[in-house]
Amino acid sequence: MIVKCIERFGKNLPSDCLTAELRYSERDKNVEFDLVIGKFYVVYAMALFGKYLWYAVCEASMEFPIFRPAPFFLIENSKLSKYWIYSYIEQQLSYLSNANFGFPEWINEDYFYNKLLNDGEREIKIFSEYKTKMDLEFRDPLIIDSAEEIDAEWLLCPFCIDAWQELTKFEMVICPKCCKKMLNPHIKSVL
């Protein structure tokens, strides 16, 4: 799933959106989130706080995901990651998330997200592996260059003229030599 940021100020959210998430209160309306308006973000997980979805995205200055309110974004690509599972837990407190989408470890392991935020080595490794896959899973709207198809398994980089065998079924590929991110010509993106 890919979203485009259209807002970053708490004061422009619906009045009950910030307070639905445990970390914020009414006094946080003046908060300015570290987001870039116009930037596209990969959504690594989603959670329902109160009646609002919050997306886990990697902000401009961070390598780990932070939840940000869905009203800050427009959906660019609504396809859900193939790595996600869904969890619903009946909560007594309205500010806790009871509906969650994310990769299995995030959803099934108690405190996975907290450990990730607190530099848990195992959690960082797991997130990094999923992040690499999810960053390539769907077409990046800003990238227009495509690798060249040699045959059903091989691609050619138009930048460094290196060829490599590409067996993934992601919409994006990265040249192993020059590290340029490109469209995968083997996969036809349907938005």
| pLDDT per residue as tens digits for the range 152-178 | 899 999 999 999 999 989 999 999 999
pLDDT at 95: 46
Burial zone of 82 (CB within 10 Å; 0-12 exposed, 13-18 middle, 19+ buried): exposed
SS3 state at 49: strand
The predicted model scores a pTM of 0.88
What is the mean pLDDT for each group of 10 consecutive residues in the chain (191 residues)?
95 81 67 92 92 89 86 96 90 62 94 92 96 95 95 95 94 97 86 51
* CB distance 41 to 11 below 8 Å: no
Q: List the one residue out of 31, 81, 32 whose CA is nearest residue 56.
A: 81
| pLDDT per residue as tens digits for the range 46-61 | 998 878 899 999 986 6
